[in-house]
Structure 1
Amino acid sequence: MKAGKEQITSLQITFMVTIFEIGSAPLFLLGSHARQDAWLATAVGSAAGLPLLFLFFWIQSRAPGKDWTGQLKLGFGPYIGTILGAVYALYFAYESMRNVRDLGELTKLSLLPGTPMFLTMLIFIWTGGYAVWKGVAVVFRLPEMLLPVTLFMYAVVIAIFFLLKVPDYNRLTPVMENGFWPILQVALPDLVSFPFGQTVIFLMFWSFWEKKGIPIKQTLIGYLTVSLFLIFVNSVILAVLSAPIAAASEFPMLKAVHSLSSLRFVERLEILLSILLYVGLFVKMTMFFLCSVQAMAHITKKNGQVLDDPGRLADIWRFFY
């Protein structure tokens, strides 16, 4: 991270919220325990995540110029706040490594089955580490390039499903067969915590906004875009595979795309989907990694200039790995 106060634009915030929340979510059937009502569970989880997001807005409004670690120190005092900040730094590091594991498994499953998984995971870690080294402003430029391409390619894949008349929306019936309570049980707290509750990381970045105040409108646009996208993707997965098959699959979206492999002109389409998932997983891994490094830099009272010194950067790498 570079010296001085970095800044991010409104568009970068909207794009980052969108691509971060998409992440690896299309890879799975969110709310699979709700069976054919999984898309409804996703909608409920999204709606339940909105009050949590407004809570984050309120927290940020208490100290607009501080990130989450600074707010913890302000609210709980320097000692307890530092301990809580360290806990969050470990949480961010843990979530980052979970995404690294997903990247490794996805690579082994779809692209490089003969390559040792630790090697591909190490490459992803070092690539993400380089992005973190360049700083917040550079990381937030990534979605400006990646999100339009990602959404376009998802649209192409889904359009192929509909052009070939593969989805059968009768597989989503009966709606609420067992009432609303099972849907609510699935949505709360699982879907609130993943993916919608992970917007907590933006408490680390809203203070970098180039304008005064909090980017509420920009964040909400990204959040609502992702919510509609995930609800739609879940319904497509269910309509293509049916609830029992989708729930039993490790990666339902890949299985749905693989079902098109018998058609010659769309053969190996799952590789395209894998690349799209790589983009989401890489952004998510990098963002969590950046949060963890930034939190530890504040806790140890080292500002962003520490990452410009290769010798001191090596010390940070040894702390995490």
Structure 2
Amino acid sequence: MERISKFQLAMMIILFQIGSTPLFALGVKAKQDSWLAMLAAAICGLFLLLMFLFIQRRAPDKDLIGLLRLCFGNIIGNFLGATFVLYFAYESMRNVRDFGEITTITLLTSTPQLVIMLIVVVLAAYAICMGIEAFCRVVEILTPIVIFSYSALVILIFSSNLVNLDRLLPIMENGPAPVLKAAFPDIVSFPFGQTVVFFMLYKLLYNKKKFCRVSIIAYSSVALFLILMNMLDMMVLGPTLSGESTIPFLQAVQLIQVGDFLERLDVFVTLLLFLGLYVKLTMFYWASAYGLAELLGTRSKLTIYGVGAVIFATSFLEPNYTYHVWLGIEVSVKFFPIFQVLIPLMMFVAILFRKPHSPPPLVENDSNNLLAEESV
């Protein structure tokens, strides 16, 4: 059975949450108050995380599929589990498309997007075949590098005198309504509500003591980081340019010029985005394949290959990147609360009122290592 440590869990939460978030100007509808929208969404996301952790503590040896069965019975639980498998696959597909688009825009402008996206899906499938434990070790190494790199870029932005605090003023010029409208449900759904995927991971902790504390600290740290990054984009570019920019943070870094020799650092931002996107798409890919394997009760690698094929094929459905971003930011996030809020809330109520002398939990298939055993 694969196991991960609490430190690996914390590093995974941090790098997963950073993920593709710097790609987008989140909360830009609130203009200079976008950071307040991020703050409001982060607080709401924290309450969601506390609810997730409460549910998990009541059945620490079950993943999301097992929890759904426990709360709603086999038939409804399996049906809802199947919808979560599709949801995780869709989230992975979106990150695959982001990876392909960013690569063709910034680095490999002449390389067919199909080739780039095929390579990243194959690499993700390889990581899953090696097992989530090995993947978490990689994330454990990468996260400090990513944090240090972002910190260095922020210092260079300040050193280049690009920051103007006046661009954050006036605060709440039009009252709290635009802030709340920008925060709910859009920013809550992306990125903070996506922590629902960790229902699939908590079961694999070999030491479950204080895992709630570790999760809260990791979440709070990365939420603060994302709020500060949002403020930085706004202080450098202003509300108008941030809203019109394809990748706001990348455009801000392109303005760095220190001592007439340190400039054009956008390649580092691109590499950081690649790391975040890869971790996020692989995590969602693993959760989808792992959940499908548990639902089918199979140890076959066909679940990995089948889910990967679906993710790769559906990543071409959107005609262009503009439509892809619009669909994600304006449409999809309106439906994500079903998986991130509504169903977990129903699970919370079911767990809360579950009788202490109820029948023993349903016997699950020994699926802790369904996707990794055949790679040994």
Normalized against structure 2, the TM-score is what? 0.80
Change in 2 beyond 3 A, CA 1:312/1:147:
closer
Q: 1:163 aligns with which of 159, 166, 169?
A: 159
Residue 119 of structure 1: aligned partner: 115
Q: Using CA pairs under 8 Å that are at least 6 residues apart, name the structure with larger relative contact order, 1 or 2.
A: 1
Change in 2 beyond 3 A, CA 1:170/1:34:
same
Which residue identity lines up with residue 158 of structure 1 in the other structure?
V
| Cα-to-partner distance string for 1:114-133 (whole Å, 9 max, x where unaligned) | 11111101100000110011
Shift of 1:317: 5.1
Which residue identity lines up with residue 71 of structure 1 in the other structure?
L
Residue 47 of structure 1: aligned partner: 43
Q: 1:143 aligns with which of 132, 139, 145?
A: 139
Tell me whether 1:203 sits opposite 2:199 in the alignment: yes
> How far apart, CA to CA, are the structure 2 residues paired with 1:319 and 1:235?
37
Tell me whether 1:182 sits opposite 2:186 in the alignment: no
Determine if contact 1:64/1:214 at 8 Å carries over to the other structure: no
Shift of 1:82: 1.1
Shift of 1:263: 7.3
Shift of 1:27: 1.8
Shift of 1:172: 0.6
Which residue identity lines up with residue 221 of structure 1 in the other structure?
I
Where in structure 2 are there 5+ consecutive unaligned residues?
314-376
Determine if contact 1:61/1:213 at 8 Å carries over to the other structure: no
Determine if contact 2:288/2:307 at 8 Å carries over to the other structure: no
Where in structure 1 are there 5+ consecutive unaligned residues?
none
| Equivalent position SS for 2:62 | coil
C-alpha RMSD of matched pairs (Å): 1.8
Number of residues paired by the alignment? Answer: 312
Residue 64 of structure 1: aligned partner: 60
Tell me whether 1:24 sits opposite 2:24 in the alignment: no
Q: 2:226 aligns with which of 219, 226, 230?
A: 230
Q: Give the fraction of aligned pairs with identical amino acids, expressed as a percent.
A: 41
> How far apart, CA to CA, are the structure 1 residues paired with 2:99 and 2:77?
33
Which residue identity lines up with residue 300 of structure 1 in the other structure?
L
Tell me whether 1:257 sits opposite 2:257 in the alignment: no
Tell me whether 1:13 sits opposite 2:9 in the alignment: yes
> How far apart, CA to CA, are the structure 2 residues paired with 1:233 and 1:197?
19
> How far apart, CA to CA, are the structure 1 residues paired with 2:136 and 2:186?
28
Normalized against structure 1, the TM-score is what? 0.93
Change in 2 beyond 3 A, CA 1:213/1:78:
farther
Determine if contact 2:160/2:257 at 8 Å carries over to the other structure: no
Shift of 1:177: 0.6
> How far apart, CA to CA, are the structure 2 residues paired with 1:68 and 1:40?
32
